[in-house]
Amino acid sequence: MGDVPESVRKVDRGAGPPGCPVSRAADGSWVVHGYPAAREVLRSTDTVQAGLGIETVEKLPRRIRRPVLYRDGPEHREQRRQTARFFTPRRVDEHYRALMTRVAVEQVAALRAAGTAQLSDLGFTMAIEVVREIIGLTHSRPGLKRRLERFFPEEFGRPGLTSVRGLYWTLRGNANWLAIHLADVRPAIRAHRRRERDDLISHLLAEGCSEAEILGECLTYAAAGMVTTREFISVAAWHLFGDPGLLERYRAADEAERLALLQEILRLEPVVGRLARRATAPLTVGGTRMAAGELITVHVDEANADPEVAGDGPCLLRPGRAMEQGAGAAGLAFGDGAHRCPGASVAVLEADVLLSRLFALDGLRMTGVPRVSFKDEIGGYEIRNLAVTVPA
């Protein structure tokens, strides 16, 4: 047993969790490492969303409605209740499965024609097509993928007005907002005003949202549904390429087993590794007393590897492992509580629809050495240079 690794993670975020589930960071904020304590924080009604640029959003005039990601309390719960219908298992199966299949077939055909492709491009195309259908961004001018790649670059600069670099990122950011507004959101709004549809934009128009507010919601869903799914597809493929036994199991499995296998990969490699909350009242988490106003950061990757919940070998891939304390197969990879990702089932299904077809290709192999970069604020990763090839 000495040759069994302690971890098969492809993404190294640093040291593992300390002995205690909750600790103090150097800046005085709280860090949560254990699964039960993390779930307490995410489900607590005495915490609100923090991080993710919320400080900038809070500077907006009060008359502007905040995107759902930045809202809390009864208003947030009501908005989530009203939009839940877009993500039910029945709707996913009836409205999005055929689209996923068509896009996957097109991507496979493009790969076979070219002989090689970057998996991040294939995955991003899949994610864009599905999420734009959910949102209603179906009247865009050509170039949506390019505009989104520019809006969500691999490396961000800090905007500002006191340096040339800061001014550049300020102007670039404003230009990117404007480009998506004019080329994607405004045409969609005009089309939806002419004919109502059963999607997010029609819902927001019925709620009386302005164009600026709809733009904010669209970009929130783009970040949550397009960018993260792209990375999930890449990391899942990386694991499958690197483990012949796992790949054989994936190829032979039925859909339910494949989805469970992908969720186990996501448990081990959550795309968003850090979730921040701010306490609005004194609360006790994992036996630790926290004061109102204090910042709490949940380390999702560490919580998902808590042996108290994941059992033995928590940093190994064991599809079908028994998760304790009612934890789902993906752990906290989609969050928990009021801000749990509503599109969890969409993301896992679209990953499987694409990957199952790619790995059905004879001679498919990975070339190049995948490169991992990080978004420090959310502990998120981006995987690039993972190329796939098929024989001519």
Q: How confident is the model over 239-253, as a mean pLDDT?
A: 96
Note the pLDDT tens digit of each residue in 61-74.
666 677 777 788 88
| Exposure of 330 in the CB half-sphere (CA atoms within 13 A) | 23
Alpha-carbon distances, residue 142 vs 121, 148, 171 (angstroms): 16, 12, 23
Identify the H or E element spanning 218.
helix 211-221
Distance from C-alpha of 274 to C-alpha of 302, rounded to nearest angstrom: 10
DSSP lists the bridge partners of residue 382 as 373
Distance from C-alpha of 190 to C-alpha of 182, rounded to nearest angstrom: 11
Note the pLDDT tens digit of each residue in 93-110.
999 999 999 999 999 999
| Residue with the larger pLDDT of the pair 85 and 60 | 85
Domains of the chain listed by start with CATH number: 22-59+69-136+197-389 (1.10.630.10)
pLDDT class of 1 with cuts at 50, 70, 90: very low
DSSP 69: G
Dihedral pair phi/psi, residue 318, rounded to 5° = -135, 80
Dihedral pair phi/psi, residue 71, rounded to 5° = -115, 155
- Percentage of the chain beyond pLDDT 90 is 72
pTM of the model: 0.92
pLDDT at residue 55, rounded to an integer = 61
Note the pLDDT tens digit of each residue in 118-162.
999 999 999 999 999 999 999 999 999 999 988 887 665 566 556
